[in-house]
Structure 1
Amino acid sequence: MERKGCTVKKKAAIGDWAAGCSAFSWETEDQRHLWGRNFDFNRIADGSNVTYIPRGRDFYTFGTELEDSLDRDTRQTTDYAAVGVGVLLFPSTPVLYEGINEKGLMGGQLYYREFACFPQEKEDGRLPLQPPFAVTYFLTKCATVQEVIERLQEVTLVGQPLLGTVPTIHWTFSDQTGETIIIEPDQDGVHVYRDTGGVMTNSPGYPWHRLNLLNYVHIRDLDYDERKLGGISLNQCFSGSGALGLPGDWSSPSRFVRLSCLKHYAVKGKTEKEGVAYMFRLFQSVAFPYGMVKVTENGVLTEYDREVTPYDYTVYTSVMCAESLRFYWTTYRNSRIQYVDLRTLLSQDSCLQFELNKEEDFLCLTAQGEY
């Protein structure tokens, strides 16, 4: 699909870099700043694991050696170490789907189907940046969301295919100030939204989602008391009536509304540990149950796609903390919260990967004789 100098393609490669996904930022009572996301899709790229990128590593923002398209003039060096879920498929550039860096900047990419629009050529004087490399670029070159905004003015997000596809994605970043920005590449240019509610899902764009919240201003956390209707007194006999009308499906608009309400009303954790646990619970409210979101079209499968299923589902959920620099995650079948500590990894000078550990993990107390 061509749109006035934009490139939008639907051919799939490495999961099309395109998934459902929901994300939001939060904070704890003791002012720990958190950001996280669900990764919803029907597959995951081969080699996708928790990936650490050290500072001082060279990488490129355009092209790959794998496809003999590497633009060596785009070489950069990482200023900050970062960790998140990603792949090391391209030796020239590690790819992160989301993550956190050593300065507490957090963020990632989400699917933006039918709306993402990128120019086919770079602008003079600007660094060409392929969309799949954007998370890696901003997390390893920026310390704050303000720096992300400034760096964005120096690059062109070029719609050059990577492994046969131009990914339809948009981005969100958050930092220790608590501000969360949303970046959307639309037909009329790249838009940066500040002072957001910190919630992001998929298409349509952020302004549409924000306006749509007007349809749900009646939602509240307090049950309704006795009501009189046509001379009949109706006594409350169940809990949760304050949220009547809150959408419960898995569409992007519904997930945006649901997360916005949950973020506003849900009790914050007192500490990072409690806040992270609560945040994973909120993400379950917008997670894709396996079998409820059937895939209508797989697209073109490649040699790099793994664990392909007939359904979109929440492959993994990640949460990170800007102060402790910990990256936490769970997977669909393994709800035990695992984490890596970026502060501990800073002494490492080469890329590392940690398994997602997607298999079931149960703790049997009777086996330990504790009864």
Structure 2
Amino acid sequence: MTGALIVAARRTPIGTAGRSLAGVTAAELGGAVVRAVADDLGEVPAEVVLGNCMGPGGNVARVASLTAGLPVEVPALTVDRQCASGLAAIELGARLVSGGSGPVVAGGVESASTAPWRFWPPEAGGPPVRYERAPFAPASDDVDMGVAADLLAQERGVTRERQDAYAAESHARAVLAAARGEFDAEIVAVGGVAADERPRAGLTAERLARFRAAFREGGTVTIGNSCGVNDGAAAVGIVPAGSREGAAGRPGLRVLGAASAGVAPGRPGIGLVPAVKLALAEAGLAVGDLDVIEFNEAFAGQVLACYDALGIDPGRACAGGGALALGHPWGASGAVLVVRLFTQLVRQGRGRYGLAAIAAGGGQGTALVVEACR
């Protein structure tokens, strides 16, 4: 994997579903970051690979590529690994480049606001039945994500107090990072929106403690320590490390390892743990070697359980806030993590090694390990 170098990384602002980006389609969100990354690359990519979960179908990556104004000759592929789709797309793009492909633009996009309604066909002459999501697993194991996160927190001993404190810290970090301008270089304005919508100043653990359990009687997961439902897109530009860009010393992130793994579908939130172990093994690194860590914060209890399982101090991760504060645009979230790594390791020079990881519905996880080249 050392043959792939990420030399560009951009994302849209992240909006709350039905609000700031409600009128922007998945193809338009994706097109905005594909165009920006292609411009940063300074050349036409050989391929576009985008992750997506709930879009209209029809190969969203292809529609976004054409919306971006790329030549019709550039092929595009849409990847669905549910919440891990954006990071899986980057993993695939890195492997394509390492295998001899030309430059690849890879990432993810999600517009929960414009996602089409979906229906099961009628049975025995009855009406069609609308459903909110496709199955993640066979019916016997298809646990709702919120319930699964609550059960995981209980089983792993993650208390409500820890969850609320972590969620409050995520918002505080995101608000501070925005105030310092740390997101400015990575954000591509779209639909007249240039800033993330969700982070809240002054959100304390004490305020979050007032929320009731959202998914299970007596549970610890609430709407306050869970991510939102969001719109957004993110993408990176990947070039061969031996290309003229790499040879000229262009700064970037060398991909050292990447992996996806599966776990029991009833506890999908822990899925990133085996993926992290595999990716670190491929990279030849340990948790202690990492300078920057970005985990997707779908639920505070879920991500804290993952930190505990891997022996990671939560204070070392998501320095600019995570999905609890910024939002979780499903198919894009894994790519957002890599954009955040790029900003911290390349734009800000905060260290050498970085890790991005995300869990996905159905019991899967994806992880990526990178090294800053400056």
Identify the TM-score tier after normalising by the shorter chain.
Answer: under 0.3
Normalising by structure 1, we get a TM-score of 0.23
Normalising by structure 2, we get a TM-score of 0.23
**Structure having greater relative contact order (Cα 8 Å, sep ≥ 6):** 2
> Whose Rg is larger?
1
Please state which structure has a larger fraction of its residues in helix.
Answer: 2
